[in-house]
Structure 1
Amino acid sequence: MKKKLIGLSVAGALLLGSAGVYASTNSKTLEVFYNVKNIKIDQVSKMPEDKPFTYNGTTYVPLRYISEQLGYPVEWDSSNQTINIGKTNDKTAFYPGKDLEYLSFQENKYDNSYKYSYNKDTISDNIGNKYSNYITIKNSFGGAGESLLEFPLNGQYSTFKAILGLTESGKDLPKPLTLEVFLDEKLIETYTVSAGDMPQEIEFKLKSVNKIGFKLNSQLGPFDTEVGLFDARFYK
């Protein structure tokens, strides 16, 4: 068994392969063991050029190597200090929370709320899929409500795409809700969502539209109603 002393920053580079990430500028010496003689994927030997090693009872293998061998590309997002494995954000898209901020939020009941996020935290839909890019609109516990969330477009965008569904916290919805979509205050689409419905992909055109509005309507009842526009994005 071979052992070797390596710097912590070198170990960081090895773990991530060519992703270009380093653990720290403050080096620390580690004692590691090169005791892995082979790696088999689907019974085929595939040993990486950067040899795996063992440290404190854990074996470390280059992340890029393993991911790409399993069919998942790896990408380092330096601006967010995030490693993306597999599907990444559409680089031609524009996202609420990153490229757009809301214009207004109107409600007819106190404590109704909205939220939108770009890669800051995650939310789940009613069947367990997780998203880090989303818009949610929530009518609060205890009653009927209408909430309208608007975003400014200023005629710059051509298309909107998202996955519409209930959030995990709203999946036990006892009565259907509706989400209305307004373009420049003109109603162009109404979606009805009930408990148990599968999330659905939605898309509509935005040519020369100055603002878009999403209006949640829910019926009276002792429950929260929350709908999500998951992976919501705009295209020019």
Structure 2
Amino acid sequence: MNKKRLTKFLVLISTIVLCTGVVAFASSLTTEIKAILSREVTIRYCGEVQNMKDGSGNPVYPIMYNGTTYLPVRAVSNMLDIPVDWDASTKTVILGTEEKPPKSVLSFEGDTGGAGSKVTDKGSLTVKGDLGADIVYNDGISFRIWNGGLSANIREAYKAKIEGGYTKLSFDAYVAASNEKDIGKTPYEVIIYDVETENKLAAIEVIAGEIKKVEDIDITGVKTIGFAANCIKSLSGSDTDRAFFFNPVVYSTRSDKPVELDTDTDTDTDNDTDVGDNNKQSKSVLSFESDTGGAGSKVTDKGSLTVKGDLGADIVYNDGISFRIWCGGLSANIREAYKAKIGGGYTKLSFDAYVAASNENDIGKTPYEIIIYDVENENKLASIEIIAGEIKKVEGIDITGVKTIGFAANCIKSLSGSDTDRAYFFNPVVE
């Protein structure tokens, strides 16, 4: 639901009541009314006429009382795809879902089934990322693909008893193939089940040896989740191939949260952003000739390249640029910036941004600003706010025509500050 629709919904919902003709709660709060059930009123939502129905699919109509039109809340919630519930004990209509923070699937009671297991050893939790960095996950589920394309079923699946109350499931999927020829080529299928109803909630294709981020699988009403996998290419196969579900978490989000569609920057009619004919592959910024400036430097030691991710997993980057925030809010300028001489011919810059603050009170609270310059033209290409201690993924900064990129940072909250605070630009690549 976009913001305009959300606004309309909130205005509408403020006038909605649960209509039954006569409202019957506790006797002291009950008032018998005489209202008109109107079949003449037309309901339009986003320009389209709506045929409103109750939870059983029967037609329902607005009522008119004292000059006001009232709509049945369940019919409206069905129309807008907003969950609705009735708490009889407190006589409360509950719209949407309560937010719940992410919780590891491994924290719930589990049944390993015939082919599932928990992953606990650090070796199995470490995977090489796209840019060569080791990603160390916090926990995971493993499923042995014991019978090729016939491996996945609820009996064999790892089953996590989450007992309902959650609406979303996310994890990183990965398949470790025993045959090296399969790596980077062979497709596998990771499958998520609703164990009680035996429904397949999701089937996601994953190429062996590649990490696939899976987000927001709908698990509304699900009490037990099943995790399994198949090899797509054949019915038989090695029983040593394994599918991994790393950092699997469940959570709930408010159903009335606005959702924005990505907008096209091209002229076609799809929802994909075309980036044009660019046959240069991604290349690390650290591979170019550079000038460290007064406050910049290359990051090479593994300790400085290791950062704790949102879900507690260590992320080990391949390389990075560091900028010492030497003068608070006055630190960033082209002279002090780390300067990478890319020579032109690239159009996009991406990296993960991170600020390490020396004062623990700043972590998770204090805003900093990371800045990207076009050094030759002395233009500021991007200014991005980031909170100390949090990773921010920065993608697709336009560097068309830029020959030398400058990397710098400021502390936003003050002009002065500790000269030991550092901004990092991890795995910076141009393409």
When the two structures are superposed, what TM-score results if normalisation uses the length of structure 1? Answer: 0.51
8 A Cα contact 1:118 1:132, kept in partner: no
2:343 is the alignment partner of 1:151: no
The letter for the 2-side match of 1:124 is V
* Aligned CA distance change for structure 1 residues 154 and 198 (closer, same or farther; 3 Å): closer
Give the superposition deviation at 1:124.
1.2
Q: 2:373 aligns with which of 182, 193, 201?
A: 182
Match of 2:316 in 1: 131
Q: Which residue of 1 aligns with 2:283?
A: 94
CA distance in 1 between partners of 2:379 and 2:319 (Å): 23
Gaps of 5+ in 2: 1-113, 118-142, 149-175, 191-205, 211-243, 246-279
Q: Work out whether residues 167 and 227 of structure 1, in 8 Å CA contact, stay in contact via their aligned partners in 2.
A: yes
Distance 2:426 2:392 in 1: 9
CA contact (8 A) 1:116 1:133 kept: no
| Cα distance change on mapping 1:125 and 1:220 into 2, 3 Å | farther
Q: CA deviation at 1:150?
A: 0.7
Q: Which of the residues 397, 403, 414 maps onto 1:210?
A: 403
CA shift, 1:126, in A, is 6.5
Distance in 2 (CA, whole Å) between partners of 1:161 and 1:200 is 8
Residue type of the alignment partner of 1:74: G
- CA shift at 1:172, angstroms? 5.4
Alpha-carbon shift at residue 191 of structure 1 (Å): 1.8
Counterpart residue number, 1:23:
none
Following superposition, the deviation at residue 180 of structure 1 comes to: 1.7
Amino acid at match of 2:285: P
| Pairwise CA distance, 1:132 | 2.2
The one-letter code sitting in structure 2 at the alignment partner of 1:154 is G
1:42 to 111, 116, 135: 116
1:194 to 387, 394, 408: 387
Q: How many residues align?
A: 165
Whose radius of gyration is greater, 1 or 2?
2
Report the equivalent of 1:230.
426
Q: Is the Cα contact below 8 Å between 1:96 and 1:118 reproduced in 2?
A: no
Compared with structure 1, are the counterparts of its residues 182 and 138 closer, same or farther at alpha carbon in structure 2 (3 Å cutoff)? Answer: closer
Task: Quote the sequence identity (%).
Answer: 12
SS at match of 2:402: coil
Structure having the higher strand fraction is: 1
Alignment equivalent of 1:73, drawn from 208, 215, 228? 208
Question: 1:45-56 alignment to 2 at 5 Å?
Answer: 46-47=145-146
The alpha-carbon deviation at position 47 of structure 1 amounts to 4.7
SS of match in other structure, 2:385: strand
Which one-letter code corresponds to 2:383 in the other structure? Answer: T
Report the CA distance shift for 1:105/1:125 in structure 2 as closer, same or farther (over 3 A).
Answer: farther
Contact 1:150–1:213 under 8 Å retained in 2: yes
Q: 1:176/1:122 Cα in 2 relative to 1: closer, same or farther (>3 Å)?
A: closer
Change (3 A) 1:210 1:120: farther
- Secondary structure (helix, strand or coil) at the match of 2:178 reads helix
Change (3 A) 1:157 1:73: same
Distance 1:211 1:160 in 2: 12
Structure 1 unmatched ranges of 5 or more: 1-39, 50-62, 76-84
Please give the alpha-carbon distance, in whole angstroms, between the structure 1 residues aligned to 2:396 and 2:359: 23
Q: Deviations over 1:154-186 (max 9, x none)?
A: 122121112223248787547533222111321
- On the 8 A contact 1:170/1:224 being kept in 2, the answer is no
SS in 2 for 1:193: strand
Per-residue deviation, residues 84-134 of structure 1 (Å, max 9, x unmatched): x99xxxx9310133x3242x1222xxxx44224599984215645513234
Shift, 1:45, TM fit: 7.1
| 3-state SS of 1:227 partner | strand
Q: Highest relative contact order (Cα 8 Å, sep 6+), 1 or 2?
A: 1
TM-score (ref. length: structure 2): 0.31
CA distance in 1, matches of 2:399, 2:418: 37
Q: Distance in 2 between matches of 1:135 and 1:94?
A: 13
